[in-house]
Chains A and B, each alone.
With several copies, the nearest count.
Chain A
């Protein structure tokens, strides 16, 4: 594998700011980015991604190719949490297996846009409709997790004799899956982008387009702080799961790449599909799992996703997956 591919990814300000954030924690600098500033950045990024994706969709329209790409995205979002669950059951109880499987079945928007930035850096084309793919990939894992929870951990429902509680939960969890803030805002901005087209984008671009990379760098500085703090919790997590948190993304990404290859997606779109498949959620799904499977230990699924998979994907994962692609495509 070419070291250049890695350097082209790492020697970008956003990734370097991520490293800087991690260093701040390791050196015990008291650098902090207090709430709600991280919230501001994530609202900004979701709106920006959605608007831009919508704008591009308003140009391209929907065709068979796009339909195929979106279909593959949903497919991956359904099968990844299913096979992850059975792999995890080797070592874990049902609750934790469900929560971790759902976490890895869903996606990380920031990983996605770091991949997009990488494609721009190396000058490879990709489609704006992949944003729609990302939006479609957020929720299925939550639904799969809930179905598994109903199938494989019924006993818990019995222990807790408040039956009405169980009923309300379903409504709440449905909301978590399809109306959680990330999905809602992303899809909303996507639709606004589609509806307002070129004219809308022209008025929004100065804030949501031109400033994008700077805001990403700012946000990744914060993600570095957050990820590094969680690293200290990894010692309680165990080797099996740490290996899982690196091997699983590579495996999922590889499945994505193979699918992209057989269905003749472009190299850029395939990288994004692979990255989405390989990324793990650290906001929406953990929240949904905490609500629906309180028995699972967030001290496992959060540090794995935040402190292992996320840093791995944005630093080494992206160029690695792209390397696989260049080999396959020849």
Chain B
């Protein structure tokens, strides 16, 4: 098991590609997405039942080591300043497969 940060982001679906680009540029090795979710926050109610990506959220999380996280955090902060959304950071343990123990 490896200690890692779990970075969860909830943003308007329309901005998800831009966030994934940010992840890519930060050398993130993996992520998980749950699309078309709902929510309420400072930008109002997202109901996810519209013919429109502006009214629906996506939920993305990525796991990474503390160092990588420290490098990303400012970029995520300015992303959220510009596009809205929430970012939640928590401490987790990740169970690695044999192969991955080498990768990460």
Residues of A within 8 A of B (CB): 32-35, 38-39, 42, 160, 162, 168, 222, 225-226, 229, 233, 282-283, 286-287, 290-291, 294, 298-299, 302
B63 at the A/B interface (Cβ < 8 Å)? no
Nearest Cβ in chain A — how far from B11, in angstroms?
11
Q: Is the CB of B47 within 8 A of A229?
A: yes
With A160-B82, A290-B14 given, is the CB distance from A32 to B54 under 8 Å?
no
Q: Is the CB of B36 within 8 A of A286?
A: no
B48 at the A/B interface (Cβ < 8 Å)? yes
The 6 closest A-B pairs by CB, nearest first: A38-B51, A298-B54, A290-B14, A290-B54, A226-B50, A42-B51
Q: Is the CB of A32 within 8 A of B49?
A: yes
**Chain B count of residues within 8 A CB distance of the other chain:** 20
Instruction: Indicate the member of B12, B44, B51, B83 with the most A CB atoms within 10 Å.
Output: B51
Q: Is the CB of A286 within 8 A of B54?
A: yes
User: Which residue in chain A gives the minimum CB-CB distance to B75?
Assistant: A162
Q: Is the CB of A35 within 8 A of B49?
A: yes
User: Which residue in chain B gives the minimum CB-CB distance to A156?
Assistant: B82
With A290-B12, A294-B83 given, is the CB distance from A38 to B53 under 8 Å?
no
Which of B21, B36, B44 is in CB contact (< 8 Å) with A35? B36
With A291-B14, A299-B44 given, is the CB distance from A33 to B49 under 8 Å?
yes
A282 to B54, CA, bound (A): 10
Which residues on the A side are within 8 Å of B43 (C-beta)?
299
Nearest Cβ in chain B — how far from A237, in angstroms?
12
Q: Is the CB of A287 within 8 A of B48?
A: no
